């Protein structure tokens, strides 16, 4: 048996014999997804909205009536321009504004299409996502009714109504990529850094170091097992998200999994980096929590939109792998992007992994 497979075998024995940690690691992601999933789908009623009606014709009136009648919305103001929308957001506590373009009715009848614009209050992304969904539902019913009417009349063509969203809230399912990120960071980075630190603490690392085994093998031997565990968790999250929460995966599933594998590699390498600068398991845990987990939650754009943050944080966010992963996974899951759209993110993640691993190896056998 060669040294690397022996190290891997040993790591798997550690993992399998530590049943408590193992079951926690496998059960936690599922619990988290269910928790987030059910909290997020809370119903919202009578949300205050503003409508900037630039056409003021029959169809636009009709659309506004349908919004009010849905019970989800309460139209509290009709601003005259975008400046006033801004004012409404700041002073009237509206959650959403809808802009109906000029000549709405004309566009529908002549061009069979029109473009509505939705502006969200991004301070609460979950609420924004839900409201967007409601708007979409109302508009869809409006469109299909309109089409039915036309079909009864003189022809059979469909109209489409496009909706523009502000970029931060373009996903209803924001939380799934976020959770995948958190799980991968937790499982791969935290666990791998703790297990390496444990070997330092118990002295087994010294025994390993004085053998002629390659240091790369020691690191890889820690990285791979936790990538596999984390991969299993990721699959579980995706299955639940798709089956229970009907989350669409617009891009290719293979692309998504490939992306996840690359990110797991980066996260595990980050774990190695952390354990290479910590002496004990407690150190490793604290540094992972403070140095990786918190930035992942706060600076990845998962909970708090990045471009509403001070410049310092926006720049700082770039050094954490999670930001790049979130950008990529959103593109794949929501926009349906392929490899050529996200290769840059993948490259960044991969380079980070290589740098982290090289640094950890150099720190592992420091001798002073």
Long-range CB contact pairs, 282-290, < 8 A, 24+: 283/197, 284/193, 284/194, 284/196, 284/197, 285/190, 285/193, 285/194, 287/193, 288/189, 288/190, 288/193, 288/194, 289/190
Residue 8 binding another protein, by CB under 8 A: no
Residue 151 binding another protein, by CB under 8 A: no
Nearer to another protein, 19 or 42 (CB): 19
Under rule CB under 8 A, how many of the chain's residues touch another protein?
Answer: 22
Q: Residue 279 Cβ, how far from another protein at the closest point, in Å? A: 14
Smallest CA-to-CA distance from 186 within 107, 271, 113 is with 271
Residue 3 binding another protein, by CB under 8 A: yes
Nearer to another protein, 3 or 316 (CB): 3
Nearer to another protein, 239 or 286 (CB): 286
Among 42, 156, 211, 243, which residue interacts with another protein (rule: CB under 8 A)? 211
Site for another protein in 100-119 (CB under 8 A): none
Cite the beta strand spans of 127-279 per DSSP E.
160-165
Q: How many residues does the chain have?
A: 368
DSSP code of residue 214: -
Residue 213 binding another protein, by CB under 8 A: yes
Residues whose CB is less than 8 angstroms from the CB of residue 116 and which lie 6 or more positions away in sequence, other chains included: 98, 99, 100, 101, 139, 161, 162, 163, 164
Q: Report how far apart, in Å, the C-alpha atoms of 178 and of each of 87, 175, 224, 236 are.
A: 32, 5, 23, 15
Q: Residue 367 Cβ, how far from another protein at the closest point, in Å? A: 4
Cite the beta strand spans of the chain per DSSP E.
47-53, 73-77, 96-100, 113-120, 160-165
Q: Residue 284 Cβ, how far from another protein at the closest point, in Å? A: 18
Residue 19 binding another protein, by CB under 8 A: no
Residue 312 binding another protein, by CB under 8 A: no
Nearer to another protein, 6 or 31 (CB): 6
Site for another protein in 171-210 (CB under 8 A): 202-204, 206-210
Among 8, 10, 258, 314, which residue interacts with another protein (rule: CB under 8 A)? 10
Q: Report how far apart, in Å, the C-alpha atoms of 73 and of each of 59, 95, 118, 145 are.
A: 18, 10, 14, 20
Residue 6 binding another protein, by CB under 8 A: yes
Q: Residue 257 Cβ, how far from another protein at the closest point, in Å? A: 31
Which positions lie near another protein, rule CB under 8 A? 1-3, 6, 10, 13-14, 17-18, 202-204, 206-213, 367-368
């Amino acid at each position: 048996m060669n040294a690397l497979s022996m190290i891997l075998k040993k790591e798997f024995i550690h993992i399998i014999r530590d049943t408590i940690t193992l079951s926690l690691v496998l059960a936690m992601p599922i619990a988290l997804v269910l928790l987030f999933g059910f909290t997020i789908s809370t119903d919202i009623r009578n949300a205050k909205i503003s409508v900037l009606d630039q056409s003021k014709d029959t169809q636009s009136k009709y659309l506004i009536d349908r919004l009010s009648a849905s019970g989800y919305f309460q139209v509290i103001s009709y601003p005259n321009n975008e400046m006033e929308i801004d004012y409404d957001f700041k002073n009237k506590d509206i959650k959403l504004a809808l802009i109906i373009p000029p000549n709405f009715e004309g566009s529908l009848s002549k061009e069979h299409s029109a473009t509505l614009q939705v502006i969200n209050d991004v301070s609460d992304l979950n609420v924004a996502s839900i409201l967007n969904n409601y708007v979409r539902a109302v508009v869809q019913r409006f469109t299909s009714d309109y089409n039915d009417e036309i079909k009864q009349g003189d022809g059979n063509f469909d109209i489409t109504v496009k909706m523009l969203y502000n970029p931060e809230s373009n996903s209803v399912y924001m939380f799934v990529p976020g959770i995948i990120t958190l799980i991968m960071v937790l499982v791969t980075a935290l666990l791998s850094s703790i297990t390496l630190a444990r070997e330092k603490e118990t002295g087994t690392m010294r025994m390993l170091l004085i053998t002629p085994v390659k240091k790369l093998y020691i690191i890889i031997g820690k990285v791979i097992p936790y990538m596999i565990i984390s991969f299993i968790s990721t699959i579980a999250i995706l299955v639940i998200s798709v089956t229970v929460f009907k989350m669409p995966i617009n891009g290719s599933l293979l692309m998504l999994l490939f992306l996840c594998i690359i990110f797991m590699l980066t996260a595990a390498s980050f774990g190695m980096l952390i354990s290479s600068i910590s002496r004990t398991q407690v150190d490793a845990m604290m540094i992972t929590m403070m140095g990786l987990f918190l930035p992942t939650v706060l600076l990845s754009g998962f909970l708090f939109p990045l471009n509403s943050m001070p410049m310092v944080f926006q720049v700082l966010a770039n050094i954490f792998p999670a930001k790049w992963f979130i950008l990529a996974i959103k593109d794949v899951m929501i926009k349906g992007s392929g490899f050529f759209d996200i290769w840059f993110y993948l490259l960044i993640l991969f380079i980070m992994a290589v740098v982290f691993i090289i640094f950890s190896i150099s720190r592992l056998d420091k001798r002073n």
